[in-house]
Chain A
Amino acid sequence: MPVVWVLGCVAALLATAVAAVGLGRRRGATQAVYAASFAASAVALITAGAQLALAEGVAPALTLPLGLPWLGARFRMDALAAFFLVVVNLGGAATSFYALGYGKHEAAPARVLPFFPAFLAGMNLVVLAHDAFSFLLAWESMSLASWALVMAHHRDADNRRAGLVYLVMASFGTLALLLAFGLLAGAEGSYDFAAIRAGAPTPLVAGLVPMLVLLGAGSKAGLVPLHVWLPLAHPAAPSHVSALMSGVMTKVAIYAFVRVAFDLLGDSAWWQSMVVLALGGGTAVLGVLYALMQHDLKRLLAYHTVENIGIIYIGLGLALTFEANGMGAAAALALTAALFHVLNHSLFKSLLFFGAGAVLTATGQRDMEHLGGLIRRMPYTSFAFLVGCVAISALPPLNGFVSEWLTFQAILQSPDLPQWGLKFLVPAVGGLLALSAALAAACFVKAFGVTFLGRPRTSAAETAREVDRCSLGAMFMLVALCVAAGIVPGLVIDALAPVTLSLVAERMPLQLEVPWLSVVPIAEARSSYNGLLVFLFIAFSASLASVVIRRFASHSLRRAPAWDCGFPDPSPATQYTAGSFAQPIRRVFGSLVFRAREQVDMPAPGDLRPARLQVEIRDLIWDWLYAPIAVAIGYAADRFNRLQFLTIRRYLSLVFLALVTLLLALAIWP
């Protein structure tokens, strides 16, 4: 049974975690731990991939004598779980391979090595779990292991703050999930997913649970306004863990939402999908705008994860909408788009974090304002990072474009919806999606241009050296996958068919039978896209142009100082920086979204002090939502502080009063 294989891999990962504690700082510990993690992830990946490809009809649940004594721990690998296991273990395998090289630079390996396999095991278990108890247990162990990894470099005050915010938000998320499963389990307390699926929820439960799961899973995935911890915590961890958290753990959160909203609950009301769509659209645009304002490379990538989560939630919201209105084919299209983007994002976001880690290893810098010109010092890393940038900016012929294109096609299916609210919301969300795609391209021109192009801004950037082969190997593996998923998207879409069949009882048309490997979501007259031909055409046209030019045009080439309109300045400080690059966009969008203010302090003529430009950007969500909560908690804590200094008589009378109140409440309760 395949589920046993994957559980065996999880056991191997847990054993590795224990062994890592024993190994401590011994030589070779890093290699051994990451090699074991790589092997376990690879086996789990192959098992889950085979399960998804063979698509055996009914996946039986496996019950282990663990957990609650009357329930046991149930595990099951259906098509949905198999797909997410592929995503988790693909990311896990790539990250472990990368860490074979990258992990050598870790200053405190004993703080990373035990938690890394435990984190992987936790994510696998969340996806495998088939009862609410093991699900929540696995969810919490995943959260705690990742928290420990965020705190690996705990001497940095910023990291400690990130850890605190993460812990609070993770507890909040688990609380929401706990309530959701409590409601689903009902009075009998049936925690088994099969029992939940079979039971008919009351209207109150059916209305409340998706919103609670949206809160719980959304806070882990980074849905605005629950995203505040993400850009703090993801960059604080070591880079390969950042890749796992951004590329994979957010997907596990998406899995939780899909599992509950599509599988366990079945039908949903259309107003719920409106909430999901509105949050998704807002998340997509706000995420990329935040990302554009950053000059820390890893934080930029983390904010960009928020954007992609928004895109995925737009797809999921559309699928919920169509399902609620009985439009099965459209729901399958939207769900396929969302799941395709899940896979894509896990590929290119891991790739980009690997690149950022390589830059960090080579230069010791995360701040883009201190980098530049790395394309000459680190040619392979920069090429891989460039491919990741093109893919994430949704540019053809790479994979990011295909999933966004499918989402657009799904939006175009929606004028047939009967509800007026959706008729107005969906086009607006389409506009937001288009805006976020365009801004993403701007964001990655900035990220790549400032980090890798231009002239080096510091000596660290000037003397950077290419990173080791394991890191490069992991990056190029992901590059190959990004290209492959972009030019033969039909393969991925067909592999997703069993998932959509099991969730919305419909599938997209078989793509591999379409001639020339085109993607045809509905019918060829409506829309089609052929990544392979676009790739071949571009390759053909570019080589034709270069051959013609080689044959007929001048060959001579002379190196000379840069022209720069006749006034080149040797100082690299005269280049455009990350801040100046984003300035036009900050002016257009930022004054509204971030209350951005620019202050120019120009000294009077004859005054020798330097002129200063000060930019202030406010995070309005923090200011309006979180800061008041923090103030309220501080105020309440101050008030209740008096309770700490009472006499024993008063304490006793308080206890007595509380007892009387509770007894009264019990007596009055019907």
Chain B
Amino acid sequence: MAIAFDVLVQGVQMTVVLLAAPLLTGFVRKVRARLMRRRGPSVFQPYRDLHRLLRKEVVLAENASWLFRVAPYLIFAATWVAAALVPTFATGLVFSWTADLIAIIALLGSARFFLALAGMDVGTSFGGIGSSREVMIASLAEPAMLLIVFTLALAAGSTQLSTVATYMASPDVGLRVSLGMALIALVIVAIAENARIPVDNPATHLELTMVHEAMILEYSGRHLAMIEFAASLKLLLYVSLIGCIFVPWTLAAADAGAAALGGGVVTWLAKLAAGGFMLALFETAIAKMRVFRVPEFIGAALMLGLLGTLLLFVSRAL
């Protein structure tokens, strides 16, 4: 019976991330609008957008290949699997050992690989510009992320997210220089990976400043819905990741019973709201960078990650 319950909790996790992802996107948009003294669309607008896109017909470029039609599903699936493996409200879920943090990063890398290929498929200049810039940003953000993983893994003695979260919740961690560096670096990487200001602007309509939006310019209808959904999932994943590593105290254990799990869900939603609010605040306070300033921005994360790792190599107590 226990295994059935475990699988059920895992299933709930997979469903909950799916349901909450558009809500987080809508919440961030709403807060941004309010901070700019606009009324803004409802927080449920992303659901309506997805619904509308799903009902519309797909307008496919004449020379689009099978890869262009398959890519949205692959991108969505890889992102969803990655999001389902991050502890959101509970640690130690039954499939959590399927992939550690390195594998989760690599899964997101797979999604990006196919997105960048899809951008090049139709053979337009905007698709190419988006793909080319996306891989440039990723070529810095991914190593930064891996160095952050190194820092965490050296501190916690594991790359397994559940173990890391349990360790971080234990009282003997305390304030550490290396973990502080990892937090700053992780926030920078999260901003870059999710194509937020100042790296990219999800709301832009000026073609030459687009990165993510330029890649998906040729997508429409249900294909676009899948990609938008995957982008929301990715944002949710990163906020949950930061939450489960640096604010792990409210995570329930997977076998803790329904009440504790319920409490975990509520506090997780509160964490998402707090994260979304801070993201919106940051985005309204800063201007978008030129593309060739971005390497300096992400380079800071890379250096912080390397410094954090080096500190831990010097002494486990730092």
Contact = CB atoms under 8 A, between A and B. Distances in A.
A207 interface: no
Contact of B218 (A423, A449, A562): A562
Contacts of A518: 97-98
Contact of A560 (B59, B125, B291, B292): B59
A372 to B, nearest CB: 7
Nearest to A557: B58
Contacts of B117: 445, 448-449, 453
A561 B218 CA distance: 10
B42 interface: no
Contacts of A411: 150
A568 B125 CA distance: 9
Nearest to B84: A537
Interface string B142-155: 11001100100110
Interface stretch (B19-27, B133-141, B169-177): B133-141
B77 A427 contact: no
B103 A401 contact: yes
B222 A580 contact: no
A529 B100 contact: yes
A169 to B, nearest CB: 30
A103 interface: no
B99 A534 contact: yes
A546 B122 CA distance: 22
Given A530-B98, A559-B60, A576 B157 contact: no
Contacts of B305: 431
Interface in B83-116: 84, 95, 97-100, 102-103, 106-107, 109-110, 112-113, 116
Interface in B290-315: 291-292, 295, 302, 305-306, 309-310, 312-314
Contacts of B112: 441
A393 B150 contact: no
Interface string A379-418: 1000000100010011110000100010011011011000
Nearest to A562: B61
A23 interface: no
Interface stretch (B49-57, B255-263, B278-286): B49-57
A588 B59 CA distance: 36
Contacts of A585: 135-136, 139
B57 A580 contact: no
Nearest to A422: B313
A379 B67 CA distance: 10
A583 B80 CA distance: 32
A437 interface: yes
The CB with the most chain B CB atoms within 10 A, among A395, A428, A569, A582, is that of A395
B116 A445 contact: yes
Contacts of A556: 57-58
B103 A435 contact: no
Interface in B176-197: none
Interface of A: 372-373, 375-376, 379, 386, 390, 393-396, 401, 405, 408-409, 411-412, 414-415, 423-424, 426-428, 430-431, 434-435, 437-439, 441-442, 444-446, 448-450, 453-455, 518, 524-530, 533-534, 537-542, 545-546, 549, 552-554, 556-565, 568-569, 572, 574-576, 580-585, 587-588
Which 8 pairs, one residue from A and one from B, show the smallest C-beta to C-beta distance? A576-B128, A454-B123, A449-B120, A542-B77, A556-B57, A438-B142, A541-B77, A434-B143
